[in-house]
Amino acid sequence: MKLLRIIGLPIAFVYGLIVHLRNFLYDVGFLRSKSFQTPTVCVGNLSLGGTGKTPMVELLVTELKDNLKIAVLSRGYKRKSKGFVLAKNDSTVDSLGDEPYQIYKKFSRITLAVDSDRGNGIITLEKEIKPNLIILDDAFQHRKVKPTFSILLTAFNNYYKNDYFLPFGTLRDSRNQANRAQIIVVTKCPQNLSIKEQESILKSLNPIDHQKVLFSYIAYNSVLKGTTNEKTLEAIQDKQVTLVTGIANPLPLIDYLNSKSINFEHLRFKDHHAFNENEITILNSKDFVLTTEKDFVRLKGKVEKLAYVEMKHQFINEGKTELINELKMATKLNF
């Protein structure tokens, strides 16, 4: 692994130069960022996946959907459709992508669309839907759009100040681009994160004057959801469990299951993995398959004994209130 990182160092250097040049061209106005009439909230990160963008989008939808006409706009990573696609009752994982499909199935009364061109997606939503607020999922690097409000996520065990450019590290954007965010959320923290530890992270991140840094942890639901009769984690403690993950960082879930005394084998796949027929056959031979919500939407209807563990962000102290208040002030919306 060390050898691969050393080999990746010159590639990371070249990649970093390209990223810096691109950002410089946007910063000086040679490349243009466009603002839109409808308030937009960007949820993103500086690194590859694993910071909890989808749960953060879901948290925002949960908090705002009863008082605002919301639209969620995503790229729809690895979908098989092209261009702008508006989610409908007959939409599938293939047409939307796994994470947008997950959001739509959970909040079917909101508008959800996918478009790799976020600007075109916003224009289409403004014309056809006229939402009060558009939530941009994973759009921090999409600088053609200048959002009204940006929420930058960084994981506790690998926050961006300690990271490096791909492929030497996991950064896909420059550390200094964090300055474009109004809110920085350090996700996947220990639930009992001390004030001293918070202050240490604040010192390391060194936010600029207009930024607030908030801390959140993952809250898992011990009630299982899916297509099986077993409804709680306690009910599967004596079973032969196979954990299947196709996400960037399954370690928090692994730690949680270990804390609940669940004995399991772990089949780990890359993020957004498309399961083939042979893998599906293997999974159907297992006694009990446990997975994540994102993987569940790709495995549902293919694997019989299947359940997932639902997760969500929980803020430490009054973080959620601070986030919503900052969002209100930035968007000037009454909710």
β 212-220/311-315 pair status: antiparallel
Share of the chain above pLDDT 70, in %: 98
Give yes or no for a contact between 198 and 215, defined as CB atoms under 8 angstroms apart: yes
Rounded CA-CA distance 129/127 in Å is 6
Residue 2 confidence class, pLDDT cut points 50, 70, 90: low
Q: What helix, strand, coil percent values describe the chain, rounded to 5? A: 35, 25, 40
Rounded CA-CA distance 38/210 in Å is 22
| Average pLDDT, rounded, for the chain | 94
- Domain covering 26-218+315-331, topology: Rossmann fold (3.40.50)
pLDDT tens-digit readout, 152-189: 999 998 889 989 999 889 999 999 999 999 999 999 99
The structure's pTM equals 0.94
* Element housing 268 (H / E): strand 264-268
- At 212 the pLDDT is 96
Question: Nearest 5°: phi and psi at 11?
Answer: -65, -40
Q: Which two tokens stand for residue 97?
A: 């992508």
Give yes or no for a contact between 244 and 283, defined as CB atoms under 8 angstroms apart: yes
Domains of the chain by residue range: 26-218+315-331, 222-309
